[in-house]
Every structure is written in structure tokens, then in C-alpha cells.
């Protein structure tokens, strides 16, 4: 997909089908109607509408009390970057090393993570697969952005949950299916616990998505450049 606005809107409306879920009590008080229910099976959930009003899950957390701190931090950082744009630019570096078999050790700064593959795929099942982290990156980035913009726009969110549903065919990974190795479709379901009007909630979600780094990563083709080092030789650019 291209980086222009038209291509990005296509990605959001056709590939990403989000739903907003507002609690039953709030929906009744606001006189909102429940949207069509999407079909379900053991593997996939295909939502029937972009935004559906329905019943939420139970939430925990003190998001309302956190909002002033989040808003103050947002405004402080945004103000500094507006004056000095270079403050917002950088390069993230993660180091991934094979630990044993297909298990990878991931290090970035003070954090250490791990991935593995299931036993039937040649791994030991000792850690999540890389796909779990990929979906988690999108979902947590969206959730973080929603809470940041809810605080910025003074829209109270009592709780929030994001689910990522990604369709794939592992035949591509094993070289037996002539399909793209990535996802054929990604859907995200946004569950919001809030007493705010629906229009305000959607305004928060739209603002956050317009500035979401990982929604952009998932919906826009990225330039990937490979560098190879063999036995500590000089790097070879194969980009």
C-alpha cells in the first residue's frame, strides 16, 4: 500500500474492520441500538460492521485517575517536539540471537524476551511464536494510543481492551502454498468502557489511529534493507 492518504484510508476501511463495544448500561442510557453480530468459528471472527455497539467485558484498572498524568506528559512531550522536531527522531535496535533450536533470545535495552515455535513445527514450545509479538505490538500500540488521546481530549475511559484477529496460511511458511506469507486480513475489535457519548469515543479512536505507529506499520508497505555479516566479515548490503 502507498503512503498517500487515499491508500491509508483504503487500508483502514477494507483490511482493518474495527468495532467499538460500549457497555449495556451505557448503551441503554444513550438509547443506542446493537449492531449486527459477526459470524464466529473456532479460528476466525469476521465482524459484520466497522463499529458495533454491544455489551463489554469486565475491566480493571484506574484509568480515570491516570488521565491527568497522561495528559500532562503528552502535552509536555508534544510541546518539546514541536519546538525541536529532532527530539522525535531515532532508530530502534533489537538484537535477536538463536538460543537453541528455533528458540530466539531478544534483547533491547534492559528488556529480554524470547520466541519459539511449537514442537510440531520443530521448536520446543518454550515461548510465544513471533506472530504473538507481532499481533501484540499492533494491539498494545492501538490501546496505548487510545488512552493517550482519551486523556488529551478529556474523554473519560474507564477501561479498554483491543483484540487482534489475523488470518494466515502457514502453507506459505513451509513453501507448499502459493500465497503471501503474511496475513491475508487483520481485524481489530476495540472494547471501550466509558460514559462519554458515542461521538466523543469515536473521535478519540479516530485521532489515535491517525497517529498510531503500528497501525501505520501494518497498513503501509515498509522498506526493508538486509545486511549480511558472515564470520564477522565486513557487512554486505543486499537491499
Q: Which cell numbers hold the place of 110?
A: 534492559
Q: Which cell numbers hold the place of 16?
A: 482493518
- Nearest-CA neighbor of 186 among 76, 77, 47? 47
Q: Which cell numbers hold the place of 216?
A: 501505520
Which pLDDT score, from 0 to 100, does residue 67 have? 93
Q: Which cell numbers hold the place of 181?
A: 506469507
Q: Is residue 150 over pLDDT 70?
A: yes
The stretch 39-61 carries a mean pLDDT of 32
- Label residue 61 by pLDDT band (50, 70, 90): very low
Where do the structural domains in the chain lie, given as residue ranges?
5-91+157-237
Which pLDDT score, from 0 to 100, does residue 187 have? 96
C-beta neighbour count of 14 within 10 angstroms: 9
pTM of the full predicted structure?
A: 0.75
Amino acid at each position: 500500500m502507498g503512503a498517500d492518504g487515499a491508500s491509508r484510508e483504503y487500508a483502514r476501511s477494507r483490511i482493518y474492520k474495527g468495532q467499538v463495544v460500549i457497555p449495556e448500561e451505557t448503551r441503554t442510557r444513550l438509547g443506542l441500538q446493537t449492531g449486527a453480530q459477526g459470524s464466529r468459528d473456532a479460528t476466525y471472527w469476521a465482524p459484520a460492521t466497522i463499529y458495533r455497539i454491544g455489551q463489554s467485558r469486565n475491566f480493571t484498572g484506574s484509568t480515570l485517575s491516570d488521565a491527568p498524568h497522561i495528559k500532562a506528559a503528552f502535552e509536555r512531550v508534544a510541546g518539546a517536539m514541536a519546538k525541536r522536531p529532532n527530539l522525535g527522531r531515532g532508530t530502534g535496535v533489537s538484537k535477536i540471537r538463536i538460543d537453541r533450536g528455533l528458540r530466539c533470545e531478544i534483547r533491547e535495552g534492559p528488556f529480554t524476551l524470547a520466541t519459539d515455535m511449537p514442537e510440531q513445527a520443530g521448536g520446543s514450545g518454550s515461548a510465544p511464536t513471533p506472530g504473538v509479538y507481532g499481533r501484540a505490538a499492533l494491539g498494545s500500540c492501538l490501546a496505548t494510543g487510545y488512552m493517550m488521546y482519551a486523556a488529551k481530549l478529556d474523554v473519560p475511559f474507564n477501561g479498554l481492551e483491543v483484540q487482534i484477529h489475523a488470518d494466515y496460511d502457514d502453507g506459505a511458511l513451509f513453501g507448499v502454498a502459493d500465497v503471501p506469507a503474511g496475513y491475508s486480513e487483520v481485524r481489530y475489535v476495540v472494547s471501550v468502557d466509558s460514559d462519554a457519548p458515542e461521538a466523543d469515543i469515536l473521535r478519540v479512536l479516530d485521532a489515535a489511529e491517525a497517529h498510531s505507529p503500528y497501525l501505520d506499520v501494518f497498513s503501509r508497505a515498509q522498506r526493508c534493507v538486509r545486511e549480511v555479516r558472515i564470520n564477522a566479515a565486513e557487512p554486505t548490503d543486499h537491499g
